[in-house]
Amino acid sequence: MKSSRSRSRSKNNRNRNNNNSGGNVINRVFDSSGPEGKVRGTPQQIIDKYNQLARDAQLSGDRVATENFQQHAEHYLRLLSEAQREIDARREEQERQNRERQADRDRQAERDRERNAHKQEAASEPSADPALAPQPDVVEADGESGLVETPESQPKPKLPRSRKPRNKPAAKADDASEPAQDGGTAPEAAE
The 3-class secondary structure across the chain, one letter per residue, is CCCHHHHHHHHHHHHHHHCCCHHHHHHCCEEEEECCEEEEECHHHHHHHHHHHHHHHHHCCCHHHHHHHHHHHHHHHHHHHHHHHHHHHHHHHHHHHHHHHHHHHHHHHHHHHHHHHHHHHHHHCCCCCCCCCCCCCCCCCCCCCCCCCCCCCCCCCCCCCCCCCCCCCCCCCCCCCCCCCCCCCCCCCCC
Are 42 and 28 in contact by the 8 Å Cβ rule? The answer is yes
User: How far apart are the C-alpha atoms of 178 and 153, rounded to whole Å?
Assistant: 62
pLDDT of the residue at 26: 82
Each residue's pLDDT, cut to its tens digit, for the chain (191 residues) gives 455 555 555 555 555 544 445 557 888 888 888 887 888 999 999 999 999 999 999 999 999 999 999 999 999 999 999 999 999 999 999 999 999 999 999 999 999 998 888 887 767 765 566 677 677 776 665 656 667 778 777 777 777 777 777 777 666 655 555 555 555 555 555 54
Q: Where are the domains of the chain?
A: 20-123
